[in-house]
Structure 1
Amino acid sequence: MIRMSRLADYAVVILCHMSDGESNSRALSARALSEYTDISESAIMKILKLLVRAEIVRSVRGSKGGYQVSYPPHEITILHIVSAIDGGVSITQCSPTLGAMCACTFEAQCIAKKGFARINAALQETLASFTLADFLTPTQQIRLKDHYVAKSN
């Protein structure tokens, strides 16, 4: 079965919450995100650390500190999020996108390698075609649009 990791799934949920137009103008603590999402604070901290490293989220210091999304939701692809959390997207372990050497003993004569490479490329292309904005509800999108219009004035 092909599926996204639980942490990558949670990262999308967290980022949707942080990008809803009301939340993205202020920094949110890991504790607040945990309360809003019912995801454990330890999982949120692990995810935020990876998202900060990937520069999708930034850490804000101070009494009103916490975490903020670094870019508008329409600029953050699902591929970027999954790659930040899982280290890449791959249908097989020997995919070149993960930078790993294939551990199988018959790699040199593998007749399925090209087919898997094509599937992997299509998977990456599909994930890159969806942004965080695609996951927001219409109400969230309206609030977000209003937020960025007000911010530009």
Structure 2
Amino acid sequence: MLLRPRRPLPGALLFAGLSLLLLAPLAQAQSEAYRRGYDQGYADGLAAARQTPWPAGAAPNWPGSYPAPAAPITLHEARYGTAERACDARAGIARALANQAIPVLTVNNGLCGDPAPNQRKFLVLSYSCPGQGPVRQSAWEGQPLDLSCR
């Protein structure tokens, strides 16, 4: 049995179908232009990343200048955990800060494991920078800690 519609399609549906047919080439052209722009932006960003950076301190306070490399930090003590249970986090901190231009550390269980499960932990840290005396800092779990030598 062949089903045939008893009345023609409503005018609004016919208009919508025709509009889609007419606008499809425009949408295709816009997506091609978007893709070309995206590809060009990617190429420009890659080329900029491959350029040699400005020398450190070449233009102080200019947003495009690069910070001077971080001075080596000597860790004296790093205790992560609670007052009752803690671990030595010096090795984890050294790993976390390796090859970072700006020595910012996030205090978390990645430093030396979880010495006190289901409890709020903190880090107590003692370190020194070249030519400076020892610095003592502390932070709660989840907080960032800036260890810059300034």
Of the two, which has the highest radius of gyration? 2
Q: Which one has the bigger strand percentage?
A: 2
User: Same fold, TM exceeding 0.5?
Assistant: no
Q: TM-score, normalised by structure 1?
A: 0.23
